[in-house]
C-alpha cells in the first residue's frame, strides 16, 4: 500500500481523513496512519500510561465523594443547587452530581481497561510460550550469580545431573551436554507468579463486565407497605419509586409479588438501641405460585427467583377515627415519615371524599411521647411504649382536585394562605383520646400500625462480579507471594582423584523482589549435596 497521502489512486479516501494523515516519516515500509496507530497503541499500553490513568481514576472519583450525588441523595443535590446556583449549574452540566455515570469517568476507566488488555494479551502469549519452552541456558560463570556454591558429586556428570533433576522436584528442569563432557542443568520455578499476575488483571476485566451487566440490566423498585395493607407486584407502575438499568424498559420484570406485610417487629436493648428489625411478609413467585412466607431482617434479605427483597426502613402510621355530627364513622390512617433516631415522625392524614368539607390531620407522631412543655411533642425513644400525636386539624379544600401533585406527608400551605383551608383545632392525643371540633365532629387517636419500606432488587451481573472479585484476590496473592527463581548446575568431570566423580558448581538467582531466596538456595544445595550418600544407603 502506498504511504503517500497525495497519491491520486487513493481518491476514494475522505478529505477529512486525509487532512489528519501525518507526513510520511522514514519508517521502513508501514503506512503513516498505521505507524501512528501502532505508536499510539504502544503508548496506551505502556506502564506509564496505565499509571497516569490510575492517578486520573483516583482523582476523578474524589468529587463523587465530596459533592452530593443524585443517585445517593437527590434532595441534597437540589439543596446544593439552590445554595450555589451559578457554580451548581456549571458543575451539573459537567456531570459532577453523578460522577460515576459521566462519560469522562467512563472514558478514564475504559482507557485503563483497554490499556490493561493491551498489556495482558501479549504477556499471556509470552507466558504460554515460557511454559512450553525449557528453562534458560546455563551461564558460563555461576560464581557471578547472587547465590553460588559448589560441591563434589559422586558419579559421572550425567549420573549426577540425572540425580539432581530427580532431587529438584517442583522445578522445571532441562539438561544439556556440552562437548567437553560437562553436563548442565537449568531449573526454574515460580511460574505461578506470572499466572497470578495475568489472572489478577483478567479478573479485573471480568469484574468490570459483571458491574456493567448490573448497570445495564439490573433494577431497583421500592415500596412502602403498612401492616395489613395492600402488597405490591414486580411491575414498574406499581412501585413508589423504580430505578431501572439502562437497558431495562420495565416490561417483563421477574414475576414476583409481595402480597402483604403481615407484621413488623423491632426489639430493643435496655438502653434503647434497636437490636433487631423483622418484617414478616407473604409473597408469591410466578404468575400463580403458592403463597409463601419469609421473615425479612436487616442483613438477611429474601433471595428468590432472580430478585432480592430487602428491609430498608420502617416507621409508624397513626390511626384515627373521625365521627361526623350525623353519626358517620370514618377510619383513616397514613404512614408518617421519621425525622430522627427517636422516630419522631411527620405526616398528614387526608380525608378527601369521606367527609364534606375535606379534612386533614397534619402533625407529628411520637412512639415514646414526652411533653417538652411548649406545646410541641418530642419522642424519648423509638420504642412505641407511650405513643402520642400532636396534630393540627384543617378543614376546607385540600387543593387536590386542581391536579397539581403534593406531598402525602404534608398539606399544601398555599391553600392555607389562600384561605381555602383553615386550621380548626390543635391538639395532643394519647391512644383513645379524642378532640371535638366546633361543628361537633370528633377525632379519636386509635393507636398506630407499623410500616416497612421494602426494596426489590435485581442484578444479573452480581455473580460474575463476585467470582471475579475472588479471582482478583487469588491472582494478587499468587503474583505478590510467589517468586520466580532459577538454579543452575554446571557438572564437570573431576580432573584429579579417582574417575567417576564430578565437580558441581551451583548458582541461583531470584528474578523478582522478595526475601528468603538465600536460605532457600542453601536448602536446595544441601538437598543436592546429600544425594550420593542417599544412593549408597
Find the shortest distance in angstroms from Cβ 455 to another protein: 5
Q: How far is CA 235 from CA 102, 218, 250, 521, in A?
A: 28, 14, 7, 66
Cβ proximity to another protein: between 488 and 521 the closer is: 521
d(C-alpha 393, C-alpha 357), whole Å? 12
322 CB neighbour count, 10 Å cutoff: 22
Is 385 in contact with 367 (CB distance < 8 Å)? yes
Do 148 and 508 contact (CB within 8 A), yes or no? yes
Q: Which is nearer to another protein, 71 or 74 (CB)?
A: 71
Q: Looking at beta carbons only, is 479 or 531 nearer to another protein?
A: 479
Closest distance to another protein from the beta carbon of 81 (Å): 18
Q: How far is the CB of 115 from another protein (least distance, A)?
A: 11
Q: Which is nearer to another protein, 111 or 477 (CB)?
A: 477
Of 313 and 406, which has the nearer Cβ to another protein?
313
User: Exposed, middle or buried: residue 405 (CB in 10 Å: 0-12, 13-18, 19+)?
Assistant: exposed
61/71 Cα distance (integer angstroms): 15
Region label for 461, one of left (φ > 0), alpha (ψ between -120 and 50) or beta (otherwise): alpha
Shortest distance in whole angstroms from residue 256 CB to another protein: 15
Question: Residue 61, SS3?
Answer: helix
The CB-of-457 to another protein minimum distance in angstroms stands at 5
> CB of 316: closest distance to another protein in angstroms?
17
Min. distance of Cβ 66 from another protein in angstroms?
Answer: 7
Q: Which is nearer to another protein, 151 or 517 (CB)?
A: 517
Q: In terms of CB distance, is 108 or 183 closer to another protein?
A: 108
| Least distance in angstroms from the C-beta of 393 to another protein | 36
Specify whether the backbone of 368 is left (phi greater than 0), alpha (psi in -120 to 50) or beta. beta
Q: Which C-beta is closer to another protein: that of 160 or that of 266?
A: 266
Cell of 409: 406527608
Whether 528 contacts 173, CB under 8 Å: no
List of residues contacting another protein (CB under 8 A)? 47-48, 50-51, 54-55, 57-58, 61-62, 64-66, 69, 71-72, 99-100, 211, 220, 269-271, 273-277, 297-301, 308, 310, 312, 455, 457, 459, 462, 465-466, 469-470, 472-473, 476-477, 480-481, 513-515
* Smallest separation, CB 211 to another protein (Å): 7
Nearest to 145 by CA among 525, 527, 442: 525
For every residue of 245-291, DSSP letters joined together read -TT--SSS---EEEEEEEEEEEEE-TTS-EEEEEEEEEEEETTTPPE
Q: How far is CA 424 from CA 48, 189, 393, 394, 442, in A?
A: 73, 88, 6, 6, 12
Nearer to another protein, 188 or 459 (CB): 459
Amino acid at each position: 500500500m502506498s504511504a503517500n497521502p497525495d497519491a491520486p489512486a487513493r481518491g476514494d479516501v475522505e478529505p477529512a481523513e486525509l487532512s489528519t494523515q501525518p507526513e510520511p516519516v522514514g519508517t521502513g515500509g508501514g503506512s503513516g496512519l498505521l505507524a501512528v496507530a501502532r505508536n499510539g497503541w504502544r503508548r496506551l499500553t505502556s506502564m506509564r500510561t496505565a499509571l497516569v490513568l490510575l492517578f486520573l481514576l483516583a482523582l476523578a472519583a474524589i468529587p463523587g465523594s465530596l459533592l452530593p450525588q443524585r443517585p445517593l441523595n437527590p434532595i441534597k443535590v437540589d439543596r446544593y443547587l439552590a445554595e450555589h446556583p451559578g457554580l451548581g449549574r456549571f458543575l451539573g452540566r459537567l456531570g459532577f452530581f453523578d460522577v460515576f455515570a459521566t462519560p469522562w469517568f467512563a472514558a478514564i476507566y475504559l482507557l485503563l481497561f483497554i490499556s490493561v488488555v493491551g498489556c495482558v494479551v501479549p504477556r499471556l502469549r509470552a507466558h504460554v510460550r515460557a511454559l512450553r519452552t525449557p528453562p534458560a541456558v546455563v551461564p558460563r560463570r555461576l560464581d557471578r550469580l547472587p547465590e553460588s556454591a559448589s560441591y563434589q558429586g559422586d558419579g559421572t556428570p550425567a549420573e549426577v545431573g540425572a540425580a539432581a533433576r530427580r532431587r529438584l522436584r517442583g522445578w522445571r528442569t532441562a539438561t544439556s551436554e556440552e562437548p567437553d563432557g560437562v553436563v548442565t542443568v537449568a531449573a526454574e520455578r515460580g511460574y505461578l507468579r506470572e499466572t497470578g499476575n495475568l489472572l489478577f488483571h483478567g479478573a479485573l476485566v471480568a469484574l468490570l463486565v459483571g458491574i456493567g451487566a448490573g448497570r445495564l440490566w439490573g433494577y431497583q423498585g421500592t415500596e412502602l407497605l403498612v401492616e395489613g395493607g395492600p402488597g405490591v407486584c414486580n411491575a414498574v407502575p406499581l412501585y413508589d419509586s423504580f430505578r431501572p438499568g439502562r437497558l431495562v424498559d420495565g416490561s417483563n420484570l421477574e414475576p414476583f409479588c409481595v402480597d402483604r406485610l403481615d407484621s413488623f417487629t423491632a426489639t430493643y436493648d435496655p438502653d434503647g438501641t434497636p437490636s433487631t428489625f423483622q418484617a414478616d411478609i407473604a409473597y408469591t413467585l410466578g404468575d400463580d405460585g403458592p403463597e409463601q412466607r419469609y421473615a425479612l431482617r436487616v442483613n438477611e434479605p429474601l433471595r428468590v427467583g432472580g430478585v432480592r427483597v430487602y428491609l430498608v426502613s420502617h416507621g409508624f402510621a397513626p390511626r384515627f377515627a373521625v365521627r361526623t355530627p350525623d353519626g358517620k364513622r370514618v377510619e383513616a390512617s397514613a404512614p408518617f415519615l421519621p425525622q430522627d433516631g427517636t422516630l419522631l415522625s411527620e405526616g398528614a392524614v387526608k380525608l378527601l371524599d369521606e367527609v364534606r368539607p375535606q379534612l386533614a390531620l397534619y402533625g407529628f407522631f411520637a412512639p415514646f411521647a414526652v411533653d417538652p412543655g411548649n406545646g410541641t411533642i418530642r419522642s424519648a425513644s423509638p420504642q412505641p411504649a407511650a405513643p402520642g400525636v400532636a396534630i393540627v386539624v384543617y378543614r376546607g379544600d385540600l387543593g387536590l382536585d386542581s391536579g397539581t401533585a403534593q406531598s402525602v406527608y404534608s398539606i399544601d400551605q398555599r391553600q392555607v394562605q389562600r384561605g381555602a383551608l383553615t386550621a380548626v383545632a390543635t391538639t395532643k392525643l394519647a391512644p383513645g383520646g379524642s378532640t371535638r371540633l366546633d361543628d361537633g365532629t370528633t377525632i379519636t387517636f386509635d393507636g398506630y400500625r407499623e410500616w416497612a419500606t421494602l426494596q426489590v432488587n435485581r442484578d444479573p451481573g452480581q455473580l460474575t462480579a463476585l467470582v471475579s472479585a475472588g479471582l482478583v484476590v487469588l491472582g494478587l496473592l499468587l503474583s505478590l507471594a510467589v517468586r520466580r527463581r532459577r538454579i543452575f548446575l554446571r557438572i564437570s568431570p573431576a580432573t584429579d582423584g579417582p574417575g567417576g566423580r564430578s565437580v558441581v558448581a551451583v548458582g541461583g538467582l531470584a528474578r523478582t523482589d522478595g526475601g528468603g531466596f538465600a536460605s532457600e538456595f542453601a536448602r536446595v544445595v544441601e538437598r543436592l549435596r546429600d544425594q550420593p550418600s542417599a544412593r549408597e544407603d
